[in-house]
Structures are given as C-alpha cells and as structure tokens.
Structure 1
Amino acid sequence: MSLRNFKTSNPVFNGYFWDDGKSSARTMSVAGIFIKSLGGILVIATITAYLWKLNEAGTPMRWFTLGGMLGAAVISVLISIRQNWAHILVPLYVVAKGFFLGGFSSYAHRNFPELPYQAIGVTIVTFFVMLILYQIRIIVVTKKLRSVVITATVSIMVVYIISWILSFFGIKTYIWGTSWFAIAFNILAAIVASFALLLDFDYIERYKNRAPKYKEWIATWGLLATLIWLYVEVLRLMQKLAIRF
C-alpha cells in the first residue's frame, strides 16, 4: 500500500509529508514545526550538558536557573504580544529555557544522577501516549476540555508565581517540600501538563497548511513550553519520591 494513500486526522502522521508540494510554502507546515522543535530540543540539550559540566566544576547554578526562568517568562509575554516576531523571539526563548533547565536539572543530576534521564524517558513516553490517544480519538479536544485545561494551567502557574514571591519573604508554601500534599500537587500538575499536549496537537491540526508561515514558530513555542513543563514536573516529583523513600 502506498504511503500516499494513508489517511489520518493527526497532524504528525497525516499525508502532508507525502504531498509533493501541494501545500503552499507560505503556510504553516507540520514538517516545519517538527524541524524547529527538534532544533530547539538539541539547543536546550547542549546548553544543559554544558551547565552540568560547570556545576560539576563547582560553578553555582542559581543565577543561571533564575535568569533563564525570568528571561523565558519575559520572552513568552513578548511572543504573545508580537507573534510576528516569533522567528526571533522563539530562538531566544529556547536559549533562556536551556539555561533554566541546565541549572534546574544540575541539582538533580548532582544528587540523583539517574533522575534527569529517567524524567526525560517519562516525558517522551507521555508525549507519545498522548499523541496516540489524540490520534485514535480516545480523547477528543472539545471546547469544554480546552477550557478546563487552560483554566487548570493558569491556576497552577498562579500558585507557582505566588509561592515563588512568598519565598523571598521566607514564607514556604505547601507545594514545596516532600509532604504528601506537595507530591499530590506535583502529580496534578504533571497530569495537566500531559493534557496540555493535546491542545498543542489540536492547534497544529487546525492551522496546518492554512495559517501564515510564522505560526510554525508559535506552534513550536507552545509545544516546547509544554514538554519542558512536563519534564520539570516529572523531575520534581521523582526528586520528592527519592528523598521521601
């Protein structure tokens, strides 16, 4: 059977890859998103590996982590406001996230050397599980599901921001530490991050071959942001479980 005749509703596995240029080069393509996302992941991995070496040599990671986090947050706001600048801002976002993840992961790598690799494995498996669930329509992205996921995501982020601000005043909130409540919050956040992947898949499917070419950068930004969030939640959860047990 020819691959050209294979039909599926999922943007990652659809016939776009076999279209022989039927779609306009000026529109958002799945191949373009894939290449940009893969490039972003490689840049993040390179920066992370470099920071791990610096950490092993005794270089403090605090400012790398904090600077990367704040930089990524500011750039994300700019991307939301100026989407047509995404081709410049998203690469900067990737670099900022590389510094954040490099600093963040270095702590786990130093104390629990295998955990970052395990967290990467769990993130990859989760990505493909959610992709399959979306592909065979076991989970359908409806307006209600989209609303629930977005509301949960914003709520979790607000909790994190408030907790981070309170930490400057010496106030430690319930989401930190290794209590069962903190672990449950991590599990909830990881589940929401997993479902957020469905929204990324849905965005790609709805706008592929129709949206302007620069939207590839927006889709890449959303997909990378969700994957990084999922990885961070999984790694934090693994750290808490390793400390507790």
Structure 2
Amino acid sequence: MSLRNYRTSNPVFNGYFWDDGKSSAKKMTVAGIFIKSIFGILIIAAITAYIWRLNENGISVRWFTLGGMLGAAVISVLISIRQQWAHFLVPLYIIAKGCFLGGFSAYAHRNFPELPYQAIGVTIVTFFVMLLLYQLRIIVVTKKLRSVIITAAVSIMVVYLISWILSFFGIKPYIWGTSNFAIAFNVLAAIVASFALLLDFDYIERYKNKAPKHKEWIATWGLLATLIWLYIEVLRLMQKFAIRF
C-alpha cells in the first residue's frame, strides 16, 4: 500500500483534495485557516456551554451526544465526496461536533466541574508544544513517521468503532473502564492524537499559497478534527484518574 495515499492522519488532507491546487487565483493561507478555526472553536464552545446548562437543569443530553456524533460522521462523508460544498458543510460539521462535545463532556462538567477546563488547557498547551517542535524541526515529519502515525491512528479508530458496536450487544470492552489497560490505551491514543497535529502542520505548510482558497475550509476541518480528538482523549483520561484515584 503506497504512502502517497496517506498524506496525514486526517482523511481531509489526502491527495484527493489537493489535485486541483493550481486551478484558483486566490490561494489558501495560514491566516485564513486560523480565522476559520477560531470561528469554529468559538461556535463549539458556545454550543457546549448551552448543553452543559441543560444538563445542570436536569435535562438529558444523551441525544445531543449521539446525534452530534452521527451527524458529524455523515457530514464528514459528504465533505469527502463533495469538497466544493465544504464552505457550508464544515460549519454544519462544527455545529454537530459542538453538540457531541457538549453532551460528551456534560457528565464530567457535572461531576468533576474543573476537568473540562483542565482538558482544554492541556489541549491548548499540547497544540503549541507540537507546533514549536514542528517549527524548530526538532521533530521532522518523514515518510516513516507519517506511516507510523497514520497506522496507529487508524488502528485506534477501528478499536473504538468495534467497541462501540459491541456495546449495542451488552458487551463492555475494557477500554471504557478504569483498569490499567484502559488508562494505558487512553494515554497511547492521546499521544497519537498529539503527533497527528504534526502531520496537519506539515501539510498546511506544504499547500499554503498553493491550494485554492476554498481549501481553507477543508484544512480547518482537518485541524479541528485532530484538536477535538485530542481533547476527548485528555478528558477521558482525566475522568478515569478522577474516578480511580
């Protein structure tokens, strides 16, 4: 299997999206991605805060979690198929992810009020640490490193998918508990998510001022997906430590 088919851990950055990189006068810029990413983060934060308030008022937010997760998955598939629709599909994806994150972290916010904020802090610090490591070339993104990160990320996602399916049959996999194995798996997933940021930085840098302007929405989608994944892993790990210790 050729490495050129796996340009990053996020499917949004694969070769399919970059084939027409010279077809537009206006090009993708880092500033454009930054502005769109900040916009997305603010929307997600607002939706999450609203869902937290609903949960504190005794309203079940389970359907926000499930609906947001499924909605984000469907929208991601649509973006993959119809990249020209990204300018309005990505905002919908952001809303869906806001619903998912709001429902997902509502339990932690209600039972461990400080955990979500701590998880956000760890995610932000990790982002800038990985960015610094990348900019200073302390860690260089090579084909071998890219292959390892992508393989690890896909393997983790497959494990999550299988465990989610098994849960419908009343089978609770070990990764959802607070055992040493479950904690170790969470730590590994968080590390892989952190390194996935390096791949995002690498390909944003490669295609800045080259890809068409509308690709900024695709790049934003990929970067937010990695940040959200990292936040989820950090929050789950903190919850397990809080419950166990």
Asked whether the two chains share a fold, i.e. TM above 0.5, the reply is yes
- The alignment of Structure 1 onto Structure 2 pairs a total of residues equal to 222
1:243 matched residue in structure 2: 243
2:168 matched residue in structure 1: 168
Deviations 1:5-44 (A, max 9, x none): xxxxxxxxxxxxxxxxxxx971101110000000000000
Contact persistence 2:40–2:94 (CA under 8 A): yes
Contact persistence 2:123–2:234 (CA under 8 A): yes
* Alpha-carbon separation, structure 2, partners of 1:174 and 1:41: 32
Structure 2: which 5+ runs fail to align? 1-23
1:86 matched residue in structure 2: 86
Contact persistence 2:105–2:116 (CA under 8 A): yes
1:54 matched residue in structure 2: 54
Deviations 1:121-155 (A, max 9, x none): 00000000000000100101111111111111111
SS in 2 for 1:101: helix
User: Offset of 1:82 from its aligned partner?
Assistant: 1.6
Matches within 5 A, 1:1-245: 26-245=26-245
* Alpha-carbon separation, structure 2, partners of 1:221 and 1:154: 18
* Alpha-carbon separation, structure 2, partners of 1:79 and 1:141: 26
TM-score between both structures, scaled by the size of structure 1: 0.89
Runs of 4+ residues over 6 Å off in structure 1: none
Contact persistence 2:25–2:212 (CA under 8 A): no
Deviations 1:181-213 (A, max 9, x none): 000000000000000000110111000000011
2:21 matched residue in structure 1: none
* Alpha-carbon separation, structure 1, partners of 2:41 and 2:25: 24
* Alpha-carbon separation, structure 1, partners of 2:154 and 2:82: 21
**Relative contact order, higher structure (CA 8 A, sep 6+):** 2
* Alpha-carbon separation, structure 1, partners of 2:149 and 2:76: 19
TM-score between both structures, scaled by the size of structure 2: 0.89
User: Offset of 1:81 from its aligned partner?
Assistant: 1.7
- Report the identity percentage: 86
Larger Rg: 1
